[in-house]
């Protein structure tokens, strides 16, 4: 029976030959990831109340990334709790404050094509960039996984997202996903799996594909993924993964997709999502010239090494206006170090930007990048709901790293193509 990649992975996890959309199956989890927000202090505590051990410690990864950098009074307590739980349970794979979970999990060699993975965060879908089926779950579901290694799932329909042509200079994966958000809304693909493909996606780096997979969550999708290729194998091998299979884990040529959505990549322009939802996205011309107080490059979506490179390409040789705030928090320490080695951080600093520690802070309204009362900002993050990045009186626009950097240079929403 012809299967999409999503269906193949679910069938493997359910230990059956094939599955069909709508079918409910019990899946055996290949890997579980949880972070300091809803991990040890929620799912971990519930597991302890049950009095049962973790089903397979080799298949659990705990990462601290949300409540770090001492950005609030209770952060130390949360970190101490997480570290105590990790020590008490002899957790093998513990990644402490090395970056945002969705980035450092593959960086640590834990993600491979064909894996069925659950993560304790809605943006866990990022793992789909590597040809895995990775979904976000809540603390209750994670408790069940920790205890049994299993989770039930309804097999989703699969939608093919075909991005044709070649993206223009100053246009990135973030513009593709914002275009989808604007056209279809934040529930446009409710509980469906999105398979990103086409000429433009094939040309993207793995890190750019991570942006597409990550923001499947902003489309209401169950998962978002790209078929693995040699770029996938090269990236994962460099990060320490072994036995990376890029041939088995592909959709069959005659697999059934519920529909195909086509985006003309060649004609796509920079996109901006207005407050206060990603679905308020449209061409940059709709918002060009909007005055800003702050620009932020950060989060799992928008401060990976390739994102930092985009920003540097725009910023090089230019200066940010006096008094304007431009802050950059790399998605991981490793990517931050490489950006420093490449001279990217120096370009950002020379332009007037401020480098912040890695972490989730600015995306969730914590730390130095938190918007002030009535402030208007632009960010490379994935959500701009009311109160998400600061007080309810603040407003946040979403855009690509190119556009965020260009806007920082002008103190208003600006088209990056002016600087490229």
Per residue in 361-370, pLDDT (tens digit) is 889 888 889 9
**In 10 A of CB 374, how many CB atoms?**
11
Backbone phi, psi, residue 322, to 5°? -60, 135
- What dihedral do alpha carbons 61, 242, 246, 18 form, nearest 10°? -60
Tell me, yes or no, whether 238 and 384 share the same domain: no
Can you tell me the mean pLDDT for 401-416?
98
Residue 223 sits in the same domain as residue 338: no
Spatial distance between the Cα atoms of 157 and 236, rounded to a whole number of angstroms = 28
198 and 308 co-located in one domain:
no
Q: Looking at residue 361, what is its pLDDT?
A: 87
Nearest residue to 61 via CA among 22, 10, 18, 107:
107
Residue 260 reports pLDDT greater than 80: yes
- pLDDT of 243 > 80? The answer is yes
Residues 9 and 108 in one domain: yes
253 and 279 assigned to the same domain: no
If asked whether residues 280 and 169 sit together in one domain, one would say no
Same domain for 38 and 178, yes or no, is yes
Q: How many helices (H) and strands (E) does the chain have?
A: 14, 18
Residues 91 and 224 in one domain: yes
Which of 264, 287, 312 corresponds to the end of one domain? 264
Q: What pLDDT, in 10s, does the model give residues 45-104?
A: 999 999 999 999 999 999 999 988 877 778 888 899 999 999 999 999 999 999 999 999
* Whether residue 368 sits in one domain with residue 342: yes
Residue 296 confidence (pLDDT) above 90: yes
Helix (H) / strand (E) element for 143: namely helix 139-148
CA quadruple 70, 71, 77, 82: dihedral sign: negative
Helix runs in 288-370, H state only: 299-302, 305-315, 333-341, 344-351
Q: Which domain holds residue 390?
A: 270-419
Last residue of a domain, one of 242, 264, 286: 264
* Together in a domain, 214 and 278: no
Q: In this predicted structure, which of 78-82, 96-100, 261-265, 276-280 has the lowest mean pLDDT?
A: 78-82
Distance CA 53, CA 383 (A): 36
Q: How far apart are CA 418 and CA 420, in angstroms?
A: 6
| CATH at 58 | 3.30.499.10
> pLDDT tens, 380-389?
999 999 999 9
Q: Are residues 10 and 144 in the same domain?
A: yes
Strand positions, DSSP E, 370-409: 376-379, 395-398
Q: Which of 220, 243, 264 is the last residue of a domain?
A: 264
* Side-chain half-sphere CA neighbours of 205 within 13 A: 11
Tell me how crowded residue 216 is: count the other CB atoms within 10 A of its CB. Answer: 28
pLDDT tens string 187-240: 999 999 999 999 999 999 999 999 999 999 999 999 999 999 999 999 999 999
Based on the domain organization, do 245 and 357 belong to the same domain? no
> How many domains are there within the chain?
2
Give the mean model confidence (pLDDT) for residues 302-317: 98
Distance CA 176, CA 172 (A): 7
């Amino acid at each position: 029976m012809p299967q999409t990649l999503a269906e193949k992975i679910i069938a493997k996890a359910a230990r059956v030959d094939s599955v069909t959309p709508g079918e409910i199956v019990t899946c055996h989890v290949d890997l579980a990831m949880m972070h300091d927000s809803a991990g040890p202090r929620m799912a971990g505590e519930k597991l302890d109340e049950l009095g049962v051990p973790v089903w397979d410690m080799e298949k659990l990864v705990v990462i601290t990334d949300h409540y770090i950098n001492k950005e609030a009074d209770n952060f130390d307590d949360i970190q101490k709790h997480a570290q105590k739980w990790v020590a008490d349970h002899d957790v093998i794979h513990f990644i402490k404050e090395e970056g945002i979970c969705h980035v450092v999990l593959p960086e640590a060699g834990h993600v491979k094509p064909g894996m069925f993975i659950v993560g304790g965060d809605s943006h866990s879908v990022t793992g789909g960039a590597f040809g895995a089926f990775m979904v976000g779950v809540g603390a209750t579901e994670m408790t069940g996984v920790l205890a049994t290694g299993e989770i039930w799932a309804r097999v989703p329909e699969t939608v093919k997202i075909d991005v044709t042509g070649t993206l223009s200079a100053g246009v990135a994966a973030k513009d593709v996903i914002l275009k989808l958000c604007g056209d279809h809304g934040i529930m446009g693909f409710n509980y469906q799996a999105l398979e990103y493909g086409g000429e433009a996606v094939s040309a993207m780096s793995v890190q750019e594909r991570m942006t597409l997979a990550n923001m499947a969550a902003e489309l209401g999708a169950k998962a978002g993924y790209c078929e693995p290729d040699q770029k996938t194998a090269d990236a994962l091998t460099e990060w320490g993964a072994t036995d990376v299979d890029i041939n088995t884990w592909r959709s069959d040529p005659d697999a059934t997709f519920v529909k195909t959505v086509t985006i003309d990549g060649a004609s796509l322009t920079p996109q901006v999502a207005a407050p206060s939802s990603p679905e308020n996205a449209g061409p940059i011309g709709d918002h060009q010239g909007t005055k800003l107080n702050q620009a932020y490059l950060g989060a799992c979506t928008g401060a990976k090494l390739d994102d930092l490179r985009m920003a540097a390409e725009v910023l090089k040789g230019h200066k940010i206006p006096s008094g304007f705030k431009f802050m950059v928090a790399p998605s991981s320490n490793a990517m931050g170090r490489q950006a420093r080695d490449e001279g990217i951080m120096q370009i950002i600093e020379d332009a007037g930007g401020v480098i912040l520690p890695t972490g989730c802070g600015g995306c969730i309204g914590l730390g130095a990048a938190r918007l002030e009362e009535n402030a208007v900002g632009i960010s490379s993050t994935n959500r701009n709901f009311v109160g998400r990045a600061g007080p309810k009186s603040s407003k946040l626009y979403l855009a690509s790293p190119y556009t965020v950097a260009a806007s920082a240079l002008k103190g208003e929403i600006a088209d990056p193509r002016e600087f490229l």
